[in-house]
Every structure is written in structure tokens, then in C-alpha cells.
Amino acid sequence: MAGIDWPGLMRAGLLGLHLRPDEFWRLTPVELRTMLGVDGPAAPLGRARLEELARAFPDRAPQTGTEVGNGGY
């Protein structure tokens, strides 16, 4: 198994993405791959998946009388 190319990853993160060192080191490998575009663009969200998510996570109306300057949330 090949080792991790830390110098190459750091160049990509610090120079290519303009991350600060602390930002680079807090990233997970998946986050870094996504930011670098390694996995390519995500598939677009289709109508069926949108409706599935809307059923799983319905919008809730703010409760009346409990708003405290933040939209009721």
C-alpha cells in the first residue's frame, strides 16, 4: 500500500484552496477530497428524492407566542 502524499495534500490545501494550516488539519479526508473535486460533482437531486426528504423532514410552522426575535426557532 502506498503512503499518503502529505506534501502534495498540504500544497493542494494550503496553496490551491488557500486554507490556513488549522483549517487544513481539521478537515476529514472526505471533506478534503470533496473540496479538491476528486469525487466529481454530486448527482442532481431528483423530484422523488426531494419528496422523500420533505416527508422525512417536514417544515414546521413557528409556534405562536414564543418568538423571541429569531423567527420563532
Q: Is residue 52 part of a domain?
A: yes
Domain count, the chain: 1
- pLDDT tens digit sequence for 26-54: 999 889 988 998 877 778 889 999 999 99
Which is nearest to 26 in space by CA: 13, 39, 11, 38?
13
pLDDT at 65 over 90: no
Find where cell 496553496 sits: 15
Neighbour count for residue 59 (Cβ, 10 Å): 5
pLDDT of residue 51: 95
pLDDT of residue 41: 72
Q: Is residue 68 part of a domain?
A: no
Q: What residue numbers bound the domain in which 37 lies?
A: 6-56
Q: Is residue 41 part of a domain?
A: yes
User: Which helix (H) or strand (E) is 50 found in, with range?
Assistant: helix 47-56
- pLDDT tens digit sequence for 2-30: 788 989 999 999 999 999 999 999 999 88
Q: Is residue 71 part of a domain?
A: no
CB within 8 A of 55, min separation 6: which ones? none
